[in-house]
Amino acid sequence: MQHTEPNKARLATLTLAALGVVYGDIGTSPLYSLKEVFGGAHHPVPITPGNVLGVLSLFFWTLIIVVTVKYVSFIMRANNKGEGGIIALMTLALQKGRPGSWQQRCLVALGLFGAALFYGDGVITPAISVLSAVEGLEIITPAFKPYVQPITLAVLVLLFVFQRRGTASVGALFGPVMLLWFATIALLGLSAVVQQPAVLAAINPLYALAFLQGNSVLGFLSLGAVVLCITGAEALYADMGHFGARPIQYAWLGYVMPALLLNYFGQGALLLADPAAVENPFYLLAPEWAMYPLVILATVATIIASQAVISGAFSITQQAIQLGYTPRLEIQHTSAQEIGQIYLPAINWVLLLAIIVLVIEFQSSSNLAAAYGIAVTGTMLITNLLAIAVAVRLWDWSPWRAVAGALPFIVIDSAFFFANSVKIPDGGWFPLAFGLLIFVLLTTWKRGREVLAARLDKDAMALQPFVASLVAGGVERVPGTAVFMTQHPESVPHALLHSLKHYKALHERVLILSVAVLEVPYVGEHERVAVELLPGGFATVRVRYGFKDEPDIPAALAHCATCGLTVDPMDTSFFLGRETLIPKLGSEMAYWRSLLFVAMFRNAGSATAFFRIPSNRVVELGSQVVL
């Protein structure tokens, strides 16, 4: 969706909305980031003035270089007609490439694995965010400690149960709540900085360099916790299609980044004054009377952060379905006005189950932090590589220039990734294993569809000679319109051949309908349908969607009137093929992948519901296919 230049009022509204949706994840990082560096269960850094200033300097320059320079200034340029995110970037990188080449396959693999890691991030973010917020109760009184985990689980279960109702009713509150959140954390940080203004010296990058040089191995390992301050940076890019680049950039530069830096510097100032505050430097910034309100506000902010990740998982799944990387799943539309407001029950409950297991298994935000960074840094590395492909293929940069431009970011992201890799035995294995599982499912489905299409094409009959033979007569025609859906409009659909075999007749008008999903987010209504009239009452109808469009075949057929083809929905029957797959040893796919594909195929959602075809107008014709 292309965004025009918004006026000032519209820009202010979009900027406020971006605060609520885009910055929830990175905005709640102060709850656990600095605490994990100095007081975490893995490689805690001793609290000394030099170490505190060095770590603050790392936080400052990480936010500047990775978020401000890389994402806000550079990566946002690589948008697919206004849309961002790992799937949009992958489709952009695939343009102007030779289909089937090893370069294309590598780019697809990178994009899919990045998307798979996003799901891992989507599981950990709600767990660590809500858990770290509720842990503030322990600071008020240790008597709350036994109740932190049950309260966290209760909040998370309510959040996921509420998903089916959509976010439209509460979405308007997200912006104002996060506006209050960032103002609160900025004031808390400012109050401590005023008492210890020496911490502002950490703006000097020499403190970061001195810390890394002076601590060698421990300094490197601390990067695994420092990276927690930029969790959620991908959201700036992924949500660009909802708000446009300018509102996201203005919100970051004018409000979010200053608030985060003030809070981090405030926590550092508190640690300099009282090293014992490492127990929870975020909550101990607040006066005692503000603790309960702050815990409530933090919990609401983390719920908003979690909601953004959950909505992102729904959105990326919808895109993967459209592009053919995952089976059709039930998609419920929770808003009649906003096309992006969707709910996928299967994804919702899988995420909730995984999150419950995480909270019960890891028990604390500090333990969860070990599992967090690996998914974030892995996705960031993949974003760099895909951006290089976009720069070379679409921006006509030389490969050397593209690599040189991305190299500083690759070095930084690699340092973060390898620093997190040492935490794999302590929990970092989870997002990798979860991501690998998703990656196997995505690639198995894509490969299985290719093998199935090849099997069906092997016995396919060309459409033009078939139509010519029917025009010559010999087949009885009955009143009405029949629509046969197929992936290959140049061939006769198998459902049509089965129908002719069983009924010994055809409708007076036969439409061969194919749906193509283009590697753009949206297709305009004037480009939606292309019709080619053929002899004997036949016609081919090609329907095009973008990967963020929502398919609606009856609506598309209504557009055919503009192309000279009027379709009466009450006089139309839809014929769909339903294949029964039989796995075979020695086929083009490994046997275990064939079994997995067959299981996914059998549990895929109905094409009738996915394409919004009236179920009482559908006839399904079955056939067996040996893979």
Kindly list the domain boundaries of the chain, sorted by start residue: 8-79+130-370, 460-626
- Is the pLDDT assigned to residue 172 strictly greater than 70? no
**pLDDT at residue number 578:** 82
- Is the pLDDT assigned to residue 205 strictly greater than 60? yes
**Mean of pLDDT over the chain:** 86
**pLDDT at residue number 316:** 84
pLDDT band at 1 (very low <50, low <70, confident <90, very high): very low
**pLDDT at residue number 237:** 82
pLDDT band at 411 (very low <50, low <70, confident <90, very high): very high
pLDDT digits (tens, 9 = 90+) for 511-569: 999 999 887 888 888 889 999 999 988 999 999 998 888 899 999 999 898 888 888 88
For the chain, report the end-to-end CA distance as a whole number of angstroms.
Answer: 39
What pTM was computed for the model?
0.83
Minimum mean pLDDT range among 23-32, 78-87, 135-144, 407-416? 78-87
What secondary structure letter does DSSP report for 288?
A: G
- Is the pLDDT assigned to residue 4 strictly greater than 50? no
Give the residue, 1 or 139, on which the prediction is more confident: 139
pLDDT digits (tens, 9 = 90+) for 324-362: 889 988 887 765 555 556 788 889 999 999 999 888 888
473 phi-psi bin (left φ>0, alpha ψ -120 to 50, beta other): left
Q: What is the mean pLDDT of the segment spanning 139-157?
A: 88
Residue type, 209: L
pLDDT band at 83 (very low <50, low <70, confident <90, very high): confident
**pLDDT at residue number 6:** 55
Give the residue from 205, 167, 203, 137 showing the smallest Cα distance to 17. 167
Percent of the chain with pLDDT over 70: 96
Rounded distance between C-alpha atoms, residue 117 and residue 433, angstroms: 9
- Cβ(60)–Cβ(261) below 8 Å: yes
Instruction: Retrieve residue 202's tokens.
Output: 């950490």
DSSP of 493-531: -HHHHHHHHHHSEEEEEEEEEEEEE-SSS---GGGSEEE
**pLDDT at residue number 3:** 47
pLDDT band at 246 (very low <50, low <70, confident <90, very high): confident
Give the residue from 309, 417, 237 showing the smallest Cα distance to 28. 309
Contacts 24+ apart (CB under 8 A), 269-276: 269/192, 269/193, 269/195, 269/196, 269/199, 270/192, 270/196, 271/34, 271/38, 271/47, 271/52, 272/49, 272/52, 272/196, 272/198, 272/199, 273/192, 273/195, 273/196, 275/47
pLDDT digits (tens, 9 = 90+) for 97-135: 777 788 888 998 999 998 888 888 788 888 888 888 888
- Is the pLDDT assigned to residue 211 strictly greater than 90? yes
Cβ-in-10-Å burial (0-12, 13-18, 19+) of 238 comes to buried
pLDDT band at 293 (very low <50, low <70, confident <90, very high): very high
Rounded distance between C-alpha atoms, residue 207 and residue 217, angstroms: 17
Instruction: Retrieve residue 203's tokens.
Output: 């703006």
Task: Calculate Rg over the CA atoms of the chain.
Answer: 27
pLDDT band at 166 (very low <50, low <70, confident <90, very high): low
Rounded distance between C-alpha atoms, residue 131 and residue 151, angstroms: 9
Backbone phi, psi, residue 99, to 5°: -55, 135
